[in-house]
Amino acid sequence: MLRLSKRLEMIAKQVPEGSRMADIGSDHALLPSYLAERGKISKAVAGEVNLGPYQAAAKQVRDAVLGSLIDVRLGDGLAVIQPGEVDVITIAGMGGALIAAILEAGQDKLAGVSMLILQPNVGESFVRTWLLEHSWVLIREQILEEDGKIYEILTAVPAQHTELTNGQLYESRILGAGITANEELQLKLGPYFLQEPSAVWFHKWKLELDKLEMIRGQLARSSQQETRSKEQLIESEIKQIKEVLACLQKDKASFN
C-alpha cells in the first residue's frame, strides 16, 4: 500500500468517500492511487501538462494495477476533464496565482463539481479571492509544516451547497485592541486562521515578516525615487501584520 507525505495525506482526508475526482498536476498520481487502493474513490482522472510527469503517473498507475479506476491524461489544467465527469477537484503543489488561473480558464469544467481542495505553495490570497469572486465558499482552512516548508490547504464548495455565505465568512470583525479584520485582511491571512490561529500559522507569518523586512531593506538602499512608494507600502504591510500577530498572540495567551 502506498504511503503519502503528511501534506498529501491531509488532502486525501478531505476527499469525500465515493468521489469521482480529478487531481490536476498529479505528478506521480500518488494521491489518486492512494485513495483508489483504499477504496475511497469510485474514479479518478490524473492530469499532467508535462510529458515526464505524465509518463511517471502512467507508470505508477500501471504498476499498482489501478488502470480501471484511474485515467492518466496529458493536458493543460482542467482541459483533461469533461463537464460533469468529476465531482471533486484537487490541485496541489503550485503557486496560488497559477491555481486561480487554472480555475479561471476551466470554469466550464466546474459544472457538477461539489468540492475544490486546493493547496497553493504560495499566494494563498489569489486562491481565496478567486473563490470569493466566483461564488465558491471556503469551508475549511488547514495548515501544516513538513520538511521545513509550510503548506495551507483550502477546501471550498459552491455557494448553493452550504448555508454559510461569503458575506458571513468575510464580514469585518474586531480582533481586539481596535484592530479590524476586514475582507482584504482575511483574504490575505485566512478567515478561519484568524479565528483560531495555530502555532504553525504564527510561524508562517513571522517568516513572511522576515521576507518583507528584507525587501524593505533592499528598497531603502535604492536611490531611485519610485522605490519610496513601494517602501511605504511594505512598511504599512509589515505594521499591519505585526499588529495582528501581537493582538492574536495576546488573546491566545490570555485564553490559555
Amino acid in the structure at residue 53: P
Q: What does the buried/exposed string (b/e) look like for 182-207 if buried means 16 or more CB atoms within 10 Å of the residue's CB?
A: ebebbbbbbbbbbeebeeebeebbee
Q: Is a pLDDT exceeding 70 seen at residue 256?
A: no
Every domain of the chain and the residues it spans: 6-168, 173-255
Helices 226-255 and 199-220, axial angle in degrees (round to 10): 160
CA distances from 57 to 35, 99, 117, 127, 174 (A): 14, 20, 20, 26, 47
CATH architecture under which domain 173-255 falls: Orthogonal Bundle (1.10)
Q: What is the pLDDT of residue 229?
A: 84
- Spatial contact of 127 and 120, defined as CB atoms under 8 Å apart: yes
Answer whether 73's CB lies under 8 Å from 46's CB. yes
- Please give the grid coordinates belonging to residue 72: 492518466
**128 pLDDT more than 60:** yes
CATH number of 6-168: 3.40.50.150
pTM of the model: 0.94
pLDDT over 90 (residue 236) = yes
Q: In angstroms, how far is CA 183 from the centroid of its own chain?
A: 18
Residue 241 CA to residue 247 CA, distance in Å, equals: 10
Which carries the bigger pLDDT value, residue 68 or residue 217? 68
| Residues 51-98: tens digit of each pLDDT | 999 999 999 999 999 999 999 999 999 999 999 999 999 999 999 999
pLDDT (0 to 100) of residue 255: 40
pLDDT band at 253 (very low <50, low <70, confident <90, very high): low
What local confidence, expressed as pLDDT, does residue 249 receive?
86
189-213 per-position pLDDT tens digit: 999 999 999 999 999 999 999 999 9
Q: What is the mean pLDDT of residues 169-197?
A: 93
pLDDT, residue 160, reads: 96
Which three three-digit cell numbers place residue 109?
469544467
Report how far apart, in Å, the C-alpha atoms of 6 and of each of 144, 150, 205 are.
8, 11, 21
Q: pLDDT tens digit string along 41-53?
A: 999 999 999 999 9
**How high does pLDDT run on average in the chain?**
94
How confident is residue 251, by pLDDT bands cut at 50, 70 and 90? Answer: low
What's the pLDDT band for 254 if we cut at 50, 70, 90?
very low
